[in-house]
Structure formats: structure tokens, C-alpha cells
Amino acid sequence: MARKLLLPGQYCVTDQAMILETLVGSCVAVCMYNRKQPLCAMNHFVLDRPPEGDLEDVGRYGTTSTERIIQMALDRDSLIGHYEAMVFGGASVLETGQDRFDVGRRNLEAAMEILAQYRLRIVRAETCGSRGRRIQFDTQTHSVDCRFCGDIPRKQRPLEINLK
């Protein structure tokens, strides 16, 4: 099966069977699919919303990127009830100690805001935390393999000390 890696700021809407994949930390990926026909979409955005007047880099921002994939899907099947969504990412991977820099939380809120505006049903969400995630979206089965990134500390064996 074909694979397509989405880099930050990219999105894809397809009717082809493939694996759409990406890595997200504070970024968010929205996966959506049509339950009635082979139509799926995924985005990977970096920031919650564009600065005033920046309409060029649609894929980079949560509000514009999520709205774009929804609109592109609705151009092919306009019945919103045929669609379901999944949301991944929004981790706090940078420890700043200040809420105003909580990029992950703000990204997640932007995605949820747009999905709510369209009344798109969210069937799965794996969000927040402090670690990134690897996302693999099978557009044929609508299943997502979501795994944490990075090293998982292994249990240490207790030190054996010979006190003789």
C-alpha cells in the first residue's frame, strides 16, 4: 500500500487507499473519513491560528488547515453526517512554566473549535501529555496506529552489592 508522510504544515484529502503518516508533538493532526465512500483527510499543523492578515500558509495553522480539509471533503460529499474525525497531538513538549506558551493546548483548542463549528463527530482523541506521537492513518480501514515517540525508560535491575 502507498504511504504518504505529512510534514508540518501539510494536509491531504484522498479517495485512494494509502497510509497517511506523521509525527506530532505540540503540533496536532486531525484525521477524518467518510463512512459512506472512500474519502479521507489528514492535516498536520504547527500553530493554532494565523496572525492577522496571513492567509497564504493555510496548512501551518489549525483553524485554516482543519477548515480546508473539511471544505475539500465537503466539496465531494456535502453531508456532514457521513464524516467522523480523530484528533492526535497537542502535547506540552516544551516546558516553559507559562500557560501563554502552551502551544499544544492552543493547537488542540483550535482543532476542536473548527470541528465543533462543523458539528463533526469526534470518535477518538489521543491528546496532551508530554511526549510526541507517531500517527499512521489507514485510509482504507479508517484505523489509526498511534504510538508514543522517544525512549521509554527501562526498568533498572537493582544493584547487587556484596557486603562481605
Complete DSSP assignment for 51-79: PTT--S-GGGBHHHHHHHHHHHHHHH---
465531494: which residue's cell? 76
CATH of the domain at 75: 3.30.1330.200
What pLDDT is attached to residue 39?
Answer: 98
**pLDDT tens digits for range 141-151:** 999 999 998 76
Domain-embedded: residue 160: no
Domain-embedded: residue 87: yes
- pTM for this predicted structure: 0.88
**pLDDT tens digits for range 38-70:** 999 999 999 999 998 777 899 999 999 999 999
Give how many domains the chain has, as a whole number.
1
pLDDT higher than 60, residue 164 = no
CA distances from 90 to 29, 35, 124 (A): 9, 26, 14
Domain-embedded: residue 86: yes
Domain-embedded: residue 157: no
Domain-embedded: residue 141: yes
**pLDDT tens digits for range 69-116:** 999 999 999 999 999 999 999 999 766 665 556 899 999 999 999 999
Q: Kindly state the average pLDDT of the residues 21-30.
A: 97
**Spatial contact of 30 and 85, defined as CB atoms under 8 Å apart:** yes
More confident call, 52 vs 34: 34
Domain-embedded: residue 65: yes
Q: 78: how many CB neighbours lie within 10 A of its CB?
A: 8
What pLDDT is attached to residue 156?
Answer: 54
What pLDDT is attached to residue 150?
Answer: 74
More confident call, 107 vs 154: 107
Kind of pairing between the strands at 11-14 and 2-5:
unpaired
Domain-embedded: residue 126: yes
Cell of 112: 476542536
Q: Kindly state the average pLDDT of the residues 27-37.
A: 98
**Spatial contact of 84 and 123, defined as CB atoms under 8 Å apart:** yes
pLDDT band at 137 (very low <50, low <70, confident <90, very high): very high
What pLDDT is attached to residue 80?
Answer: 97
What pLDDT is attached to residue 44?
Answer: 98
Q: 57: how many CB neighbours lie within 10 A of its CB?
A: 14
**Spatial contact of 83 and 41, defined as CB atoms under 8 Å apart:** no
Domain-embedded: residue 138: yes
Domain extent, residue 143, equals 2-148
